[in-house]
Chain A
Amino acid sequence: MRRSRVALVLLAAAGVLALAFASATMGGTAKKGATPFKAAVILVGPHNDGGWSQAHYDGMQYVQKQLGSKVQFTYKENIAVGAQFNQTVAGLAAQGYKMIWATSYGMVTKQLAAKYPNIIFEQATGTDLSKNLGEYFGAGEDTIFLSGMAAGAASKTGKLGYVVAFPIPEVIRHANAFTLGAQLTHPGATVRLIWTNSWFDPAKEKKAAQGLVAAGADALGQNVDSPATGQYAESKSIPWVGYDSNSMTFAPKSWLTAAVYNWGLYMLKETKLAMAGKWKSEFYYGNMNDGFTSLAPYGPGVSAATKAKIASYAQKIKSGSFYEFTGPLYDQSGKLRVKAGVKMQVLQGGTNSLYGMNWLVKGVIGSAKG
């Protein structure tokens, strides 16, 4: 009994000593040469989610490749908005990072930015601005509109389904854009919504897709991040429009196209400015012209005629001669919300602004309240 007791204590002591000794002798390697510009990208989900976070990760990779050894990027994934984000920023600040890309709404607050005046913050999808805090997002609705055109053309009955996450303006305007596009190639088309209550939940999205198909949808789209809807569509031989990334591998026959965000271009521009000390805070709203958003490659189910029509509308949107959110726009109850000829603005206009839109257009079946 004595023996086991003593042995136990010795073991514990030996372990502690070994650890302490070893860590003391492993000194940190001193880096020589020009110190690269340190930037970090903070993702709210896994870097390989095939959706929102992956798109930002791809953007980061693009910039790293373009700038090579002049810049050192790192990324953090699965970081919750709130205290965990603050901790991550504190850690990055202590490690000498000079630029932080926050990829989910609410991550960077004005107070947080004020705490670290020497770090440049770029926040996606938000609206707060300050000396070292900039915002960036873009007209996903333009490319979603185009993808809706593909879906409308592929639908035979004109009944479409759209899987959505939360009833917030961003999602609502995307659903509206999809519907308007579908109605362009398929007059009278209706789009039924099912809310999953989550940005990313393959099981829920599949069930939503099942519900939509059971209700008669013969073409599916989504504003959520996993390809589960597409996998279900493939199993039922129903055409499918994705979101956020090129997920054709998940549904090779059903895939039509998707609106994708090319974060890399904007990230490259701003990183270069930051490195040169010329960065300025701004509210950036990209579009197809500067390459911020584009369509993923088409699948086999998109006819040549549809491709041509989409291309022509894309050109018109780029040149400004057409804008999908131009009046007259009616809501679900038939009431005129945007007068003829009036173009909706990004920030101005209250509930008639893109960022404030809380009503669904005519032809959308489902509640704007979830």
Chain B
Amino acid sequence: MRLTFERRLSQPWWLSVAVPVGSVVVAFVIAGIVLLATGVEPLPTYRQLFNAGFIQTGALTQTLVSATPLAFTGLAAAAAFRMKLYNIGAEGQMYMGAIFGSAAGLFLGGRISSSATVIFAMVAAGIVGGALWGSIPGVLRAFFRTSEILTSLLLNYVAGLILTYLIFESQSYWRQTKGFNATVFPTGKALPDVAQWPTWTIDVQGGVVIPLGALIAVVVAVLLWLLYSRTRFGFEARVLGDSDRAARYSGVRVRRKILAVMAISGGIAGIGGASQVGDFAHALDGDPNGLQKLGYGYTGIVVAALARYNPFATLLVAFLIGGLENAGNTLQGPGFPAGLVGVLQGIILFCALGGEVLVRHRVRIHRRVPKRAAEAAS
């Protein structure tokens, strides 16, 4: 039996939805088998997962806490990956966005009384921080042809070290130096009240709190979609993604495009970092047991891949994966070891990759033709 793959000429729209959904279903089935093999009942577990992630009181609020950073890192990954620029550095770009954003909040917060201005400045600073950090692999790729995969990844470690250094190993501007607590354990300086990002509460399920970051993520998704589908920049970037030789021949400034896309991707991740400071932590979190343990940057890549790099799908998938992360914390315990979340995410990703093939190719199964008939035919 042989399989051949023929590229489809056109991809029916419903297939690009059915396949990711189908692959998630298959993934849960496979994961269910894994769970069974280790003595955990899959169906009650999944019900609990769903419950803890979306249904029970307060679940949606907590899911948004995970979904917001994932939306940003997911959009960052989508923005770059779609152009075949593999920015693995969203994690570090997010840290840089947090550093720059909290600096803006601390500096302006004491001087300006308009909350909107301060918050706007924080977002802008976050973009700048993330974009700068993302430009490093961008420059190295554009001008020195160095693989952005490795450079952006290695810079994640460097960014993490800088973040820890600012709070744990130096008396930096970001560090809380007054007060007794500050001497006991290193903490970030608390942001003044004007720098706290607002939230909106919907009266559902006991009150769902929607952070400003979530709304900004939606705006970013719209802007990203517009950029890539309605502007010349986006068109040229897509040409570049498909074939960089074609792009060069058609006059696209390849190097600038690469740099621009990496900077945009980094900037989006940077807003995620600013959101971490403004929405949730209200101080710069340099604790190695804190933000750096969560791996939002890497999970964002999973989100983007599942969403097939479409900005709006990215938002949806970020929400779903955010629910999975949130529920994972709740489910975790003696019966449900921590490692299962990564296993589940990996299986989902594998199935999505496999399903991707079905979207792009038509699979034909050939039964082995008897030898004599084949010879007669040739």
Contacts and interface: CB of A to CB of B under 8 A. Distances in A.
A and B touch in the complex (CB under 8 A): yes
Interface of A: 1, 4-5, 8-9, 11-12, 15-16, 19, 22-23, 26, 28, 44, 46, 74-84, 86-88, 90-95, 104-106, 125-128, 166-170, 197-199, 347, 350-351, 355-356, 358, 369-370
Given A86-B65, A169-B184, A369 B333 contact: no
A144 B44 CA distance: 47
B231 interface: no
Interface in B305-351: 325-327, 329-330, 332-334, 338
B183 A91 contact: no
Contacts of B65: 83, 86-87
B62 A8 contact: no
Contacts of A44: 289
A46 B334 CA distance: 12
Given A8-B18, A106-B287, 8 more contacts: A8-B358, A9-B18, A75-B334, A90-B58, A126-B184, A168-B185, A356-B180, A370-B169
B185 A88 contact: no
B362 interface: yes
Given A8-B22, A19-B25, A369 B362 contact: no
A355 B182 CA distance: 10
B62 A91 contact: yes
Interface of B: 15, 18-19, 21-22, 25-26, 28-29, 43-44, 46-47, 50, 52, 56-59, 61-62, 65-66, 164, 168-169, 180-181, 183-187, 276, 280-281, 285, 287-291, 293-294, 325-327, 329-330, 332-334, 338, 358, 362-363
B338 A77 contact: yes
A258 to B, nearest CB: 22
A90 B62 contact: yes
Given A22-B43, A355-B184, A356-B183, A87 B62 contact: yes
Contact of B330 (A78, A81, A88, A105): A88
A83 B26 CA distance: 31
Contacts of A167: 169
Contacts of A19: 25, 28, 43, 46
A256 to B, nearest CB: 29
Nearest to B65: A83
Contacts of B334: 74-75
B59 A127 contact: no
In the A-B complex, the 6 residue pairs with the closest CB atoms: A91-B330, A12-B22, A15-B25, A80-B293, A87-B62, A23-B47
Contacts of A5: 15
B334 to A, nearest CB: 7
B66 A83 contact: yes
Contacts of A82: 280-281, 285, 287, 290-291, 294
A88 B329 CA distance: 6
Given A1-B362, A23-B46, A355 B183 contact: yes
